[in-house]
Structures are given as C-alpha cells and as structure tokens.
Structure 1
Amino acid sequence: MEGKSDLVFKEKVEYDDENRSATLIGIDGDVMQEYKSFKGTYQVVPKEGKSDLVFKEKVEYDDENRSATLIGIDGDVMQEYKSFKGTYQVVPKGTGSLAKLTIEYEKLSDDVPAPDKYITLMVNVTKGIDELIAKAK
C-alpha cells in the first residue's frame, strides 16, 4: 500500500482473564470482504471477570509515517469516550524498530477513567507482534 488508506473493521473483543488474553473476531467491514474469517488473540493484563467488548473502528494506514490509526466510530468504548483514537507507529532504530503507541481521547464525563486498559492492550498486541516476527526470523 502506498500513501494513506482507510478501512472500516468491526470486531468483537472477547476477554479471558483466566488465560490473560483478548481475542479479536472480525464481524464486519472492509477486511471481512477480503477474508472468510479473521481472528487474532493477544495477551492482556486481566481485569475482574470475563466480558465481551465490541469496537467498531475506521483504520487509517500511513505508509510514509509507518503508522496505523484506529479511530473509534461505534461500540462499547464510545459509551465512555466522546472520541477515541489509538495509533501504532513503527520508527526505525538501529538494526530494529521502536514502536510508538499513542491514544488520543475525550471523556464523555469527568468520572470516566483514563483508558489504561486500552494502553495495556496496545502494548501487549505490540509485544505479540514482536514475538511473531522474532520467531519468523
């Protein structure tokens, strides 16, 4: 892909605290037009109980800046935040790369907590990708 492209991807997120993992299951969107199924499992820091979370996002890829931005447009996260945008950026460093993770958000009210659980999820997704790349070498 060159330049920027936008994709919409709706996924169901299943948290399993016992196994400290989150599974993203594709439900709808542009990605599902290309693939029969989409499922990714990532390790996360557990929270109490198990829960399912739906997050519909618009994904913007920027090849020039080596980044992907997930912009929340619907789902459970939007019940706490007026706006929610998570960005993964890969910056070359030495013989490898550095992952820069950013979350921009606006709370719907002052009593809504900071999105720490999403920061932790992003960190663990990045670590999982790093492990997969290291195994492939």
Structure 2
Amino acid sequence: GKSDLVFKEKVEYDDENRSATLIGIDGDVMQEYKSFKGTYQGKSDLVFKEKVEYDDENRSATLIGIDGDVMQEYKSFKGTYQVVPKGTGSLAKLTIEYEKLSDDVPAPDKYITLMVNVTKGIDELIAKAK
C-alpha cells in the first residue's frame, strides 16, 4: 500500500540549513527505535532518538522522542505523520504533542519547521513513485 511506500522506505530531506532521514524497515514489524542526527539553524549534530510506531490502517507513523536534544527542553515530544487520501492524491498531516520541562521553554517551532520539511521529502518520494 501507499503507507508502506511512505513510512517503510528510506526518506531523506537535505538542504543547506536542515537535514533529516527516516530509514524504514522490512516485513511487518510495526515499531522500531532509531536515531536522527543532522544540522538545524547552524547547530550541527542535532540528535533525536525516537521510538517509531506505524499504523498502516490509519496510514500514519508516530515518532516518540526518548532521548537527544529535544528532551533537554521537553518532558515529552511526539510527532505523527499521517497520509490522508484526498481526491486523486493525498494530504500529509502533521500533529505534534509536547510537554515543556518548564514554563520558560519556547514552543517547539524549530522542530515543527524540521518536521514540515521531512513531510516535503515524503511528498517528493510519493511523486517519484507515481
């Protein structure tokens, strides 16, 4: 199915300011642990370790933060990518749930931008697969 294409194959996004990689799995394993390392807003070696849960029925993948830079500011951080059929194509939906470690921690705008760019990479993968 299309969700297999989107979430269980290699997806990459790179430009001069950000980089992100999702590396998929084989078979019917529905979750995995992986580590993301890249550059964002001039900071090199941005690390995000995550548990990934796949839901083929809902065409979604949820990335649950378990360690890394994001966990220095947030008690919990969970991003869900979902592909929703729309007309002859699909709509990529991104949902982010987070809990700050303290009130003075900013909203996770930098991570939202990064995740939006990963969504653009998913869109490019789907376009190439057609």
**TM-based fold match above 0.5:** yes
Larger deviation, residues 90-99 vs 12-21:
12-21
If you compute each CA radius of gyration, which structure gives the higher value, 1 or 2? 1
Please report how far the alpha carbon of residue 128 of structure 1 lies from its aligned counterpart in structure 2 after TM superposition: 1.6
Runs of 4+ displaced beyond 3 Å:
3-43
SS of the aligned residue for 1:113 comes to coil
Shift of 1:7: 17
The partner residue of 1:94 within 78, 81, 87 is: 87
Segments of structure 2 that go 5 or more residues without pairing to the other structure are none
Q: CA deviation at 1:132?
A: 2.7
1:65-106 alpha-carbon deviations (Å, 9 max, x no partner):
111000011111111000000000111100011111011000
Is 1:7–1:60's contact at 8 Å kept on the other side of the alignment?
no
Distance change >3 Å, CA 128–CA 42, structure 1 → 2: farther
Q: Distance in 2 between matches of 1:36 and 1:83?
A: 17
Aligned to 1:24: 22
Kindly, what percent of the aligned residue pairs are identical? 100
The reply on whether 1:73 has 2:66 as its aligned counterpart is yes
RMSD: 6.3
SS, match of residue 7 in structure 2: strand
Go from structure 1 to structure 2 and tell me whether the alpha carbon gap of 1:112 and 1:14 turns closer, same or farther (over 3 Å shift).
Answer: farther
**Shift in CA distance, 120/90, structure 1 to aligned 2, threshold 3 Å:** same
Alignment counterpart, residue 36 of structure 2, candidates 38, 56, 60: 38
Number of residue-to-residue matches in the alignment: 130
Aligned in 2, Cα 1:54/1:26: closer, same or farther, shift over 3 Å? farther
